[in-house]
Amino acid sequence: MDKIRIHGGHELSGSIKISGSKNSALPILAATLLTREECCIRRVPDLSDTNYMVQILAHLGAHVERASGNVAVTAEKINSVAPYDVVRRMRASVCVIGPLLGRCKEATVSLPGGCVIGDRPIDLHLKGFEALGAAVRVENGDVRVFAPKLTGAIINLRGKFGPTVLGTDNVMMASVLAEGTTVIEGAAQEPEVVDLANFLIKMGAKIEGAGTRRLIIEGVKELHGAEHDIIPDRIEAGTFLVAGAIAGKGVTLKRVDPEHVQSVTNALTSCGYKIDFRADEISVSPNGATTPLEISTEPYPGFPTDMQAQMCALLSTTDGISVITENIFPQRYMHVAELKRMGANVDLEGPTAVIKGVDQLHGAPVMASDLRASAALVLAGLKAEGVTEVSRVYHIDRGYEHLDEKLRDLGAEIERVQA
Ligand code: EPU
């Protein structure tokens, strides 16, 4: 299993290009199951998660060709069963249920297993399918949904932790081929949901309200093939903004949507960094003294939970006392114990982390526990004195395209080593 070794203390500068969004690409690839015609998806990031999705589509009977960021899918004849072996590696595989239900009027998909970032139920997805007229059974670790026909309905998808991103995607994908009008209240507003809606609209779906809390979907008889460019990954962009802040003297990100990362750039500005915007570029550079922050994770456009761990790394070396409250996945703090091994001073009180900035972090062997936690450890390693070795790098490969190469391009001393 590979490790990432970082010799900390090198200043980062220069520019890198942000890849296509993982969390857009996954449901959009799943949406290609909704038509028998060919779909071409461009700027699909080269990640293990997108590879898993390609494998799932192929297992379901689709013909898939992948070449340098372009994925062509023709799902002419498909079956609707995705067993545990095929879906277990990735929680996001649940987003094939909606398109399978829409197209085949049935789906049997194994339930994904546990997840270190907390309990991740899919009750809201299932509630949405039921509202469209599907029967739902959960037996022997599989979820089975079936309906002679799907009928539009008014569905509220807001749960106790707010809206659900993949739940909104799933119910939207099931409803585009339902009879009549579906209204999804409490919909997720994330840019990835908007990207999926835009792709579905290109396929012939009738969807209004993407990017707001209410989606109105008028069912159509069938969808056709379409081409689509995936939006830039706002979490990869946020991660590199924090890299630029924690260890940079001037780092520029290219091909980024500034609006999608506004909560992160606002946080960095409040912390004391200089942020410059130019069309689809953002630069971050030091600007004198930094100040501690108070942040709460919220659904979009609030501060993303997927940036909480990285921010925790930055605030660990920011003078003063910072406070982070995690409102989406209250237990998403696996990185804290590892950051502490590097000298960070963080106390957890339920969903809140109280971070007392230290002068210096120290390199240490640390263990990645999930995707964003791993990114936080790499960021901490860039700043730390000495050598940091992050093991279980496969977590990083799930969601960051060539993270080590991009950081090396910016001047980091970072290498991938075989353990
Ligand atoms: N929730 C329920 N019931 C449901 C679904 C969700 O109670 O049926 C709860 C969750 O437990 C959580 C909250 O609702 O407390 C929000 O979860 P959501 O459903 O929005 O998460 P998701 O759609 O499964 C996506 C991203 C995650 C990201 C979250 C929140 C993808 C593939 N995954 O997950 O990304 O953290 O939205 O923004 O889009 C990552 O990329 O590292 C990652 C974990």
CB 409 within 8 A of CB 17: no
CA of 370 to the centre of ligand 1 (A): 14
Same domain, residue pair 223 and 324: no
CB 14 within 8 A of CB 407: no
- What lines the ligand 1 site, CB under 6 Å? 23, 26, 92, 119-125, 159, 161, 164-167, 188, 192, 305-306, 328-329, 371-372, 399
Same domain, residue pair 110 and 168: yes
CA of 306 to the centre of ligand 1 (A): 10
- The residue from 229, 261, 294 where one domain ends is 229
CATH number assigned to the domain comprising residue 362? 3.65.10.10
Q: What is the DSSP letter of 282?
A: E
- The residue from 187, 211, 229 where one domain ends is 229
Average of per-residue pLDDT values in the chain: 96
Same domain, residue pair 247 and 141: no
Q: For 185-195, what is the mean pLDDT?
A: 98
pLDDT band at 308 (very low <50, low <70, confident <90, very high): very high
Give the largest CA-CA distance in the chain: 64
Q: What element of type H or E holds 131?
A: helix 123-131
Same domain, residue pair 216 and 260: no
pLDDT band at 113 (very low <50, low <70, confident <90, very high): low
CA 328 to ligand 1: nearest atom:
15
Same domain, residue pair 363 and 296: yes
Same domain, residue pair 298 and 360: yes
Same domain, residue pair 396 and 356: yes
Q: Which amino acid is it at 231? A: I
Domain that holds residue 178: 25-229
pLDDT in tens, 125-164: 999 999 999 999 998 889 999 999 999 999 999 999 999 9
User: 286: exposed, middle or buried (C-beta count within 10 Å: 0-12, 13-18, 19+)?
Assistant: middle
Q: For 180-204, what is the mean pLDDT?
A: 98
At 71, list the tokens: 């994925």
The answer to whether the pTM exceeds 0.75 is yes
Same domain, residue pair 304 and 183: no
Q: What element of type H or E holds 104?
A: helix 97-104
Number of structural domains (the chain) is 2
CA of 190 to the centre of ligand 1 (A): 11
Strand, helix or coil for residue 247: helix
Same domain, residue pair 238 and 222: no
- Non-local CB neighbours of 357 within 8 Å, separated by 6+ positions: 292, 315, 316, 317, 318, 319, 320, 321, 322, 345
Same domain, residue pair 199 and 269: no
Same domain, residue pair 99 and 242: no
C-beta atoms surrounding 231 within 10 Å: 23
- The residue from 200, 229, 258 where one domain ends is 229
User: Which residue puts its alpha carbon closest to atom 43 of ligand 1?
Assistant: 306
Check if 39 is active-site: no
Q: What is the C-alpha end-to-end distance of the chain, expressed in Å?
A: 6
Same domain, residue pair 203 and 311: no
- Non-local CB neighbours of 42 within 8 Å, separated by 6+ positions: 20, 69, 70, 227, 228, 229, 230
pLDDT in tens, 53-112: 999 999 999 999 999 899 999 999 999 999 888 888 888 999 999 999 999 999 999 987
Q: What is the pLDDT of residue 114?
A: 57
